[in-house]
Amino acid sequence: IGNNKIRKNKFTKLKKLNYKIATLIHLKSHCGYGSKVDEGTVMMQGSLINTNSQIGKNCIINSHASIDHDCLIKDHTHICPGVTIGGNVKIGKNCWIGLGSKIIENCIIGDNVYVAAGTVVIRNLKSNTFVKGVPAKYAKKRLA
């Protein structure tokens, strides 16, 4: 389920019913030494998670996304295909990191942040915001 809100609602309902939700890691993806991928998360083909990174519950790490060392991706976040995330990046809950976006090392991204496709994030981002462009700039309206 690609929509974060719908996926989170389904996950929460299943957990309330005491279901154990599988974590799915494609055989042609890679999760580095010391990294942790939590319950309900899906790693698609060609995705890469480097050393000592943590991926929360119910996330999507889509095809050919690259997450470098010591990153933290919190629950219900969608990392779209081709995203590149530098080392030591922290991404909050319920975020959407759009197709082909790039986030430089050491950035902190709050909860509920929408990063448009192709955006280059070079500084920390506040919660509940939408950014787009190169470099990323805050926008007034979020795309659909």
Q: What angle do CA 25, 39, 47 make, to 5 degrees?
A: 30
> Residue 144 is encoded by which pair of tokens?
């659909």
Distances (CA, A) of 62 to 67, 78, 100, 120, 131: 11, 8, 11, 18, 20
Condensed to tens digits (0 to 9), the pLDDT of residues 89-129 reads 999 999 999 999 999 999 999 999 999 999 999 999 999 99
How far is Cα 139 from Cα 116, in angstroms, rounded to an integer? 10
Task: Let me know if 64 is a catalytic residue.
Answer: no
Segment holding 9, helix H or strand E: helix 4-16
Catalytic residue among 64, 69, 76, 78: 69
Q: Is residue 109 a contact partner of residue 103, using CB atoms and an 8 Å limit? A: yes
Q: Give the model's pLDDT for residue 140.
A: 79
* pTM of the model as a whole: 0.94
Condensed to tens digits (0 to 9), the pLDDT of residues 32-85 reads 999 999 999 999 999 999 999 999 999 999 999 999 999 999 999 999 999 999
Q: Give the model's pLDDT for residue 141.
A: 66
Which of the 8 DSSP states describes residue 28?
T
Report the b/e string of 118-143 with b at 16+ CB within 10 A. ebbbeeebeeebbbbeeebeeeeeee
Q: Give the model's pLDDT for residue 71.
A: 98
Which sign, positive or negative, has the C-alpha torsion 106, 41, 43, 2? Answer: negative
Q: Give the model's pLDDT for residue 142.
A: 56
Task: State the pLDDT confidence band at 19, using cuts at 50, 70 and 90.
Answer: very high
Which of the 8 DSSP states describes residue 108?
E
